[in-house]
A and B are shown apart, each in its own frame.
Chain A
Amino acid sequence: MDKLILTLDKGTTCTAWNYSGHRLAAGSTDGTVAIYDSTDPVSSTFNCTSRFKVQESSILKVVWIPPEYGDAVACIATDGTLSLWEEVAQDTEALHWKLCKCFERNTSQVLDIQFGDSRTSLKLVAAYSDGQVKIFELLDPLELEKWQVQAEFQNIIDLVSKFGNASCSSASISWNPQRGELQQSSFILGFSSNSPLLNSSKVWEFDQDHQRWLPVAELASPEDKSDQVFAVAWAPNIGRPYELIAVATNKGIAIWHLGSNPDSNGRLSTEKVAVLSGHDGEVQQMEWDMSGMTLASTGSDGMVKLWQSNLNGVWHEQAILAPVFPEQ
């Protein structure tokens, strides 16, 4: 049932698989990123094929760019920097990883990033430790050096109020994975911060007519709005009439249904269909499978948990995967 497929370098801090699960990027404490490849698309044997130094500080997170833009990874370092590296072999050079872009920064740090796969252009959402959200847009589909800031806002419903001195410890972003041509770009974002209004996860949608991002839903019950959000995950939708989003807070993992038709205020209907016990400790990561039927989560308790809705439509904990250590 379980099979060891690769062994990581010493000092590894984070890993990320590419779109097809045939390449793994692993960041480490000394600021290098190692790339592991399978020998062919069928094999599940992986070898390290390259290593490159990104930063002096430790790597916090690595994210692959969508494959339509080549093989590239964005790296967040613990010092809060964000850089983009690409694998190329142009003209006479051999294949190598090169730095494409170092995103400029002020005093705040980058906490989380996600690429949004829009048909028109590639977008990158970055959430910063001061509660700011920046959306970068790629200008040239074949050149990953050129980005521009498309929008900058805070994760609050009331667009008038602004926070000067919010301090966030983590953020989680998840794009709507739908790729349909008619689909509006939208993503969900939640913070873990000292500022209650920033925390609750909100769904942001790009308003084509006014060329701006608008919050269209808030996934938190009135009494939970100030809860710190640990992780969010937007499920793939293969034909359900509603969207499915998981939000993890200190109260557990909540499963939300999000309607598709906006009301007169432009808001989408929301319904919290389940609150699951979650993990013993913080939820660290949540991932939906490709059908959007099973949610996998990890927590600071070191467990992997699988969640599913049964034939009666009731969400429940399906299984737990627990690493075992030999008695010492």
Chain B
Amino acid sequence: MPGVTSSSSDSALSIVPHSSDSQSPRVYPLRHHGLTPPLARVSISWARGNTLRVSLIQSEAVSKQQTGGEVVEVKLTNMEGGEVTDGQWRRIAYGSVTPFALLQSRKNSMDSSHRSKDWWEHVMEYSREINSLLANSKSSGNVVIEDPKALLKKEEEPTSLKAAWELMEIFYADKQSETCIPERLLDWLADYDCLFSGTQPTVHAKLVDFQKQLVTLQVIENDPKYWEAMSSALAVGWLDIVVKLLHLHGSYQFDQLGNRETENGLVEAVAVLISQMPRMRPDLPSGKLGECYQTKPEFMKAWEKWRSQITKLDCSSFWLQCDHHQTREGLKNMLQIMLGNTSILSHVTYHWIELYISHFLYIRPFTVGLENMCNLAQKCMHLKPISNHHKLMGLIIGILEENIEVVLAECSRSFDPWMITHAIELLTAGSTQAEILLLEEQSKLGGISIEELQRLVYAQVLSSYAMTWNIAPIYLTSCMKQGMGLLENLLYRQPVQNHQVLLKSIEICRLNELGIVSSNMMKIYGVHKWKHGQKGSAVFWLQQAQDEVRLNRIAKQLFDFVGKSVSDESFKQWEGLIELLGTESSTAGSLKFLNIYRDFKRSLLQVHGETTTDAAGKAVESLVSLMKNPSTPQRFWLPVLYDSLKLLNWQERPLLNVAQTHLLLNKLQELSIAKLKPDFINADSPPEALNSVRLALATNLGRAILEE
């Protein structure tokens, strides 16, 4: 899509509809292996989902051509630009099904007026579950011994995907932390600052650099980098790191206690002040420093007190007794940071968002409201302009500007459709404006809402992969207008000639009450088996599909076969098939008569030349029951009767009694009438058949009357 212009994913191609229409289309290279220009033809075919198959057919004019062309499969899906592997992407896709479905069912069970109050709690539960899936845990077991010098613990590989999700959770879903958004942003930056390191300097990058040098440094406090690292970490509020670093200060060493007492006291005083910093948040994770305050008045009071302590320390006379120049300057600098010295803050931070956080911490701790936050962000961006935009920046700006359309566009531009489909739940929980924009059905979208459109797109992405296509139905059933239509199309494209795929597809049809689709699949499978000579399986599945037309057709073929070559060895096989069909209850439908016909034919066979009347009698019994059977199709009547001429004209005595002869005559009569109708199917009997049968029956009737 033209939207995919972020430099990080050069080969990613996605076809998610978006709102911008000014951009010109992007050209993507189609790679191939050994073709030479010119091509005779390029031909295309959509495979499942967003997969396009392109046949590049080589021109014959090229003399040295090796092959006739190549077929290239293009997946028109931007799968996260390589941030997560395909396997992990699938794990996320599988894992999000349950939270998504649960949230939908909760939504459906509550009426919308009722929903507003605690709805966000359900959304938060959902958000946490999704967030836990995005954790890309690579840690192998617990680290038993913690390195005292390790500043940055790396428990998991941070991803932009998770960072974006958490941002939206902070701003849209988590109503509980509405009052402490700055604090949550601080935590967020602590986790994801490293993502920005790739393109430009950050506090994180600086700490990583310093960490490398740390082991080699002898007198740490003499190194200006030590003080710089601490100032930077302090500015963005990574208090635990700062205190940890302060404790590495040389004045703490035992041999130093005697002569550096004041110096050590000052270091410790700063460390204490840092760890006592008032925080406007309900709680802190273990290991993090500061004192939490839940209400604004309490926080303000504590804040004022804390600031006055800093000012007091700043003016203290002890500084004069501190001989170590770097320590004195470094600590003073840190006090200035805590006092909100704008120029120092600007000096020790790199990225605008770091400066932004430092402003929240030390200059405007009481900032509330998105408008103020947005103004501040603009100011910081102005102070620290960046050349290379990370994809998260657009998202942050969109959120702060309260522009839901930008957020949508950024989400679909930078992340795959999984993100937008699932994030919409957060966005709609966030504001009524977003809810209206996302849930309103629009005629320009073909009568569906943006929410539904995104789910359809995501379902199509899922259908592009053989492993995930069967979770697409979950998302499609949540689409009120067009979901079932797409589900049917998806099912029609399944390779149901494979047994396993057939059974799994039928199950989806069963759950979604798509009986017609399911019979069609069984029909496809049945016909496939029939054409492959697997008649038993074919008949079974056509019966399951209740395909009367094809079953009748098969019955006819069986009839013809049994009629022709009964003595054949292959009759045994057919007999097996008839057996298979015959014992089936109503499902056999018109095939049931074949059973009786087989018996009839078998006994007729035994009536050869000089056989006894007994055998012939048996054949007649079969004949009568065959003709009595309502499932015997009309078109078989004449051939059956014609076959039985020998019985009708039995020399010794008439084999049929009067009633039986009447029955057959009636059938013959019915047949003559039916012959006049337009839909009569003519069986392949000789033209004289009708007359010979009629004559034989008449003769038999006459003889029978005489006998009785």
Chain A in direct contact with chain B (Cβ < 8 angstroms): yes
Find chain A residues with CB under 8 A from B516 CB.
181
Query: Do the beta carbons of B444 and A11 come within 8 Å of each other?
Result: no
Query: Do the beta carbons of A2 and B20 come within 8 Å of each other?
Result: no
Given contacts A11-B68, A87-B531, contact A314 B57 (CB under 8 A): no
Query: Do the beta carbons of B67 and A1 come within 8 Å of each other?
Result: no
- How far does the Cβ of A4 sit from chain B's closest Cβ, in whole Å? 6
Determine whether B73 belongs to the interface, using a CB cutoff of 8 Å to chain A. yes
Query: Do the beta carbons of B553 and A141 come within 8 Å of each other?
Result: yes
Determine whether B567 belongs to the interface, using a CB cutoff of 8 Å to chain A. no
Find chain A residues with CB under 8 A from B37 CB.
325
Query: Do the beta carbons of A140 and B553 come within 8 Å of each other?
Result: yes
Given contacts A67-B524, A310-B20, contact A322 B531 (CB under 8 A): no
Find chain B residues with CB under 8 A from A141 CB.
527, 549-550, 553
Give the residue name and chain of the A residue nearest to B487 (CB): A238
Chain B positions 18-45 with a Cβ under 8 Å from a chain A Cβ: 18-21, 24-33, 35-45
Given contacts A14-B41, A41-B501, contact A179 B492 (CB under 8 A): yes
How far apart sit A313 and B446, CA to CA, in the bound complex (Å)?
A: 8
Find chain A residues with CB under 8 A from B201 CB.
none
How far apart sit A165 and B581, CA to CA, in the bound complex (Å)?
A: 56
Chain A positions 97-149 with a Cβ under 8 Å from a chain B Cβ: 140-142
Given contacts A41-B466, A181-B516, contact A238 B482 (CB under 8 A): yes
Given contacts A12-B57, A13-B57, A287-B44, contact A1 B28 (CB under 8 A): yes
Determine whether B687 belongs to the interface, using a CB cutoff of 8 Å to chain A. no
A46, A90, A297, A321: most-surrounded residue (chain B CB, <10 A): A321
Query: Do the beta carbons of A2 and B21 come within 8 Å of each other?
Result: no
Quick one: which of B1, B71, B73 contacts A8, CB cutoff 8 A? B71
B30, B32, B38, B523: most-surrounded residue (chain A CB, <10 A): B30
How far apart sit A68 and B527, CA to CA, in the bound complex (Å)?
A: 7
How far apart sit A308 and B21, CA to CA, in the bound complex (Å)?
A: 11
Give the residue name and chain of the B residue nearest to A315 (CB): B21
Find chain A residues with CB under 8 A from B481 CB.
239
Determine whether A236 belongs to the interface, using a CB cutoff of 8 Å to chain B. yes
- How far does the Cβ of A46 sit from chain B's closest Cβ, in whole Å? 8
Give the residue name and chain of the A residue nearest to B23 (CB): A316
Query: Do the beta carbons of A240 and B446 come within 8 Å of each other?
Result: yes
Query: Do the beta carbons of A13 and B40 come within 8 Å of each other?
Result: yes
Find chain B residues with CB under 8 A from A49 CB.
none
Determine whether B630 belongs to the interface, using a CB cutoff of 8 Å to chain A. no
How far apart sit A211 and B18, CA to CA, in the bound complex (Å)?
A: 45
Quick one: which of B26, B39, B484, B533 contacts A320, CB cutoff 8 A? B26
Find chain A residues with CB under 8 A from B613 CB.
none
Scan B51-81; emit 1 where CB is below 8 A from any A CB, else 0. Answer: 1111111101000010111111111100000
Determine whether B617 belongs to the interface, using a CB cutoff of 8 Å to chain A. no
Given contacts A288-B46, A290-B490, A304-B42, contact A296 B52 (CB under 8 A): yes
Determine whether B276 belongs to the interface, using a CB cutoff of 8 Å to chain A. no
Find chain A residues with CB under 8 A from B70 CB.
4, 6-8
Query: Do the beta carbons of B35 and A320 come within 8 Å of each other?
Result: no
How far apart sit A261 and B102, CA to CA, in the bound complex (Å)?
A: 40
- How far does the Cβ of B708 sit from chain A's closest Cβ, in whole Å? 46
- Count A-B contacts at CB 8 Å: 293
Query: Do the beta carbons of A24 and B447 come within 8 Å of each other?
Result: no
How far apart sit A325 and B33, CA to CA, in the bound complex (Å)?
A: 9
Chain A positions 60-105 with a Cβ under 8 Å from a chain B Cβ: 67-71, 86-91, 93, 95
Query: Do the beta carbons of A8 and B69 come within 8 Å of each other?
Result: yes
Query: Do the beta carbons of A22 and B495 come within 8 Å of each other?
Result: yes
Find chain B residues with CB under 8 A from A308 CB.
15, 17
Quick one: which of A17, A179, A306 contacts B45, CB cutoff 8 A? A17
Determine whether A268 belongs to the interface, using a CB cutoff of 8 Å to chain B. no
**For the side of the interface on B, what is the size category?**
35 or more
Find chain B residues with CB under 8 A from A44 CB.
73
How far apart sit A312 and B405, CA to CA, in the bound complex (Å)?
A: 12
Query: Do the beta carbons of B21 and A314 come within 8 Å of each other?
Result: yes
Query: Do the beta carbons of B498 and A40 come within 8 Å of each other?
Result: yes
- How far does the Cβ of A122 sit from chain B's closest Cβ, in whole Å? 12
Find chain B residues with CB under 8 A from A7 CB.
33, 67-71
Find chain B residues with CB under 8 A from A313 CB.
442-445
- How far does the Cβ of A269 sit from chain B's closest Cβ, in whole Å? 15
Chain A positions 7-23 with a Cβ under 8 Å from a chain B Cβ: 7-17, 19-22
How far apart sit A257 and B363, CA to CA, in the bound complex (Å)?
A: 59
Determine whether A29 belongs to the interface, using a CB cutoff of 8 Å to chain B. yes
Determine whether A303 belongs to the interface, using a CB cutoff of 8 Å to chain B. yes
Given contacts A10-B67, A13-B40, contact A67 B497 (CB under 8 A): yes
B11, B33, B74: most-surrounded residue (chain A CB, <10 A): B74
Query: Do the beta carbons of B11 and A291 come within 8 Å of each other?
Result: no
- How far does the Cβ of B61 sit from chain A's closest Cβ, in whole Å? 12
Given contacts A41-B466, A296-B46, A321-B54, contact A309 B488 (CB under 8 A): no
- How far does the Cβ of A26 sit from chain B's closest Cβ, in whole Å? 8
Determine whether A237 belongs to the interface, using a CB cutoff of 8 Å to chain B. yes
Determine whether A311 belongs to the interface, using a CB cutoff of 8 Å to chain B. yes
How far apart sit A181 and B74, CA to CA, in the bound complex (Å)?
A: 34
Scan A25-68; emit 1 where CB is below 8 A from any B CB, else 0. Answer: 01011000000000011101010000000000000000000011
Find chain A residues with CB under 8 A from B646 CB.
none
Query: Do the beta carbons of A319 and B15 come within 8 Å of each other?
Result: yes
Given contacts A87-B531, A298-B43, contact A240 B71 (CB under 8 A): no
Query: Do the beta carbons of A321 and B74 come within 8 Å of each other?
Result: yes
- How far does the Cβ of B4 sit from chain A's closest Cβ, in whole Å? 9
Query: Do the beta carbons of A318 and B60 come within 8 Å of each other?
Result: no
Find chain B residues with CB under 8 A from A42 CB.
466-467
Give the residue name and chain of the A residue nearest to B481 (CB): A239
Query: Do the beta carbons of A15 and B57 come within 8 Å of each other?
Result: yes
Determine whether B485 belongs to the interface, using a CB cutoff of 8 Å to chain A. yes
How far apart sit A263 and B492, CA to CA, in the bound complex (Å)?
A: 33
Find chain B residues with CB under 8 A from A9 CB.
67-68
Give the residue name and chain of the B residue nearest to A91 (CB): B533
Mind listing 30 A-B residue pairs with CB under 8 Å? Answer: A4-B33, A4-B73, A5-B53, A7-B33, A7-B70, A9-B67, A11-B68, A12-B57, A12-B68, A15-B43, A17-B47, A20-B493, A20-B494, A21-B51, A41-B500, A41-B501, A67-B496, A67-B527, A67-B528, A88-B532, A141-B553, A239-B448, A287-B46, A290-B46, A290-B489, A294-B15, A296-B52, A311-B444, A314-B21, A316-B25
A-B pairs, 4 with minimum CB distance: A313-B444, A238-B485, A21-B47, A12-B68
Identify the B interface with A (CB < 8 A). Answer: 1-2, 11-13, 15, 17-21, 24-33, 35-58, 60, 65, 67-76, 442-448, 450, 453, 456-457, 460, 463, 466-467, 481-482, 484-486, 488-490, 492-498, 500-501, 516, 520, 523-524, 527-528, 530-533, 549-550, 553-554, 557, 570
Given A1-B11, A291-B482, 17 extra CB contacts under 8 A: A9-B68, A13-B41, A15-B57, A17-B53, A26-B55, A46-B71, A68-B520, A140-B553, A179-B488, A237-B485, A304-B52, A319-B1, A319-B28, A319-B76, A320-B26, A320-B27, A322-B29
